[in-house]
Amino acid sequence: MVEQVKLAEHIIVVGAGIGGLTAALGLAKQGFTVVVLEQAPELSEVGAGLQLSPNAVKVLQAFGVADAIEPHCFTPQRACIRDHRSGRHYLDMPLGREMVKRYGAQYWHIHRADLHQELVRACQQHGVDIQLNQRVMGYRNEKDHVKVLLEKQTLRTDLLIGADGVHSQIRELMLGAQAPIFTGQVAWRGTVPIANIKGASVQPNATVWAGPHQHMVTYYLRGGEFVNFIAVEEQASWRYESWREEGDTEVLRSKFHGWHPEVTAVLDGCESTFLWALNGRPVLPTWHDDRVVLLGDACHPMLPFMAQGAAMAIEDAFVLSGTLEKYDYEYAFMKYEKLRKPRATAVQKQSRDNASLYHMHGGWQGRLKLEALGVASKYANGIIQSKLDSIYGHDVTALRL
């Protein structure tokens, strides 16, 4: 049994994104006094969707917010990988009830703004103080607290959590500046009102459209009111790291000219889009520095090819809040990193590997891999499903923390 010492009481979370708010909610429910510092002038999320697989939904259930989130969600019935021109299915596997049967929770699609709104509401109901226009300039670990240096004031807290995303200021303060590693891929994303989509019927599934050096993902949001898309193409270089740069819809449409009618119909109905470079970062040597710890994209940014970015941050939030509730911060941070780092690193690798599959790398060999996947999907679907067990079947709420 770990020797009990005085536990933290006051915690500052930097970043009011999905990971930061989930962590704040979990900590507040454990009885901590929590302040969230957000540098933006208002609470908002870019208009795009995300996928919540059963491993993430179980945390939301444990934190008591799943019932409030569910009305905003769309439940896809199947997950598909289809050919970019012919539309033939390389993979076609059930979601819906099969997810509940196999993993004990639903698979949901949700607009990021809707999830964000419900997390904000839940945090406020549990007394979390969310402060806007607060940019962290530095921190300093002291003997029994950490000082957080803002632009106009200095705050004192027991612990500091950096949940400030892929561009994390807390990570840079902890480990030094580090240039992102461009993966050679750029993603366009947006949401399209279903009324704008003409000449094709978009299937209500989680669909990956695989093509040479490109792919596109489509799925429904808000009860079928919108179709969300992410379109990825390979490029030799990119000068920005932002994911909020506005894109040219005509250029986007030209990139996917000649693709299946479901794809082109969605893009023809698109009125606005954002694009961003897909960047990675090396595995960090540590996730914590005395009284300061990192969470989510701040320590393990995810490529979107497993749809696990939000899910990993949500899992982090559960484990971190649970260890801090039981142990002094030094042991809690050590245990949190030990539990989460191998998991996050493995999912990062699976996400990178999927890029090669979706983009048919290797010419005919790439197509052969997709053909083999189709055969396995048709005659041995259990094999395909079992490969997802390590992702969707991982239940942090059942861990012995």
Establish how many alpha carbons lie within 13 A of residue 398's alpha carbon, considering only the half-sphere containing its beta carbon.
8
Pairing of strands 78-83, 49-52: unpaired
Beta-carbon contacts of 67 under 8 Å, excluding residues fewer than 6 positions away, are: none
Secondary structure of residue 138 in the 3-state scheme: strand
Calculated CA dihedral for residues 310, 315, 317, 318, nearest 10 degrees:
150
97 CB-near residues (< 8 Å, 6+ apart): none
Nearest to 258 by CA among 220, 189, 209: 209
What is the C-alpha separation between 215 and 49, in angstroms, rounded?
A: 17
Query: Is residue 154 within a helix (H) or strand (E), and if so which, with residue range?
Result: strand 154-157
What's the CA gap between 381 and 80, in Å, rounded?
A: 12
**Residue 76 · residue 107 · CB < 8 Å:** yes
d(CA 64, CA 29): 10
- Active-site annotation holder among 139, 219, 327, 392: 219
Q: Which two tokens stand for residue 77?
A: 């019935």
d(CA 247, CA 266): 16
CA–CA gap between residue 184 and residue 24 (Å, rounded) = 35
**Spatial distance between the Cα atoms of 91 and 104, rounded to a whole number of angstroms:** 23
Q: Does 219 participate in catalysis according to the annotation?
A: yes
The SS3 of residue 231 is strand
Active-site residues: which are they?
219
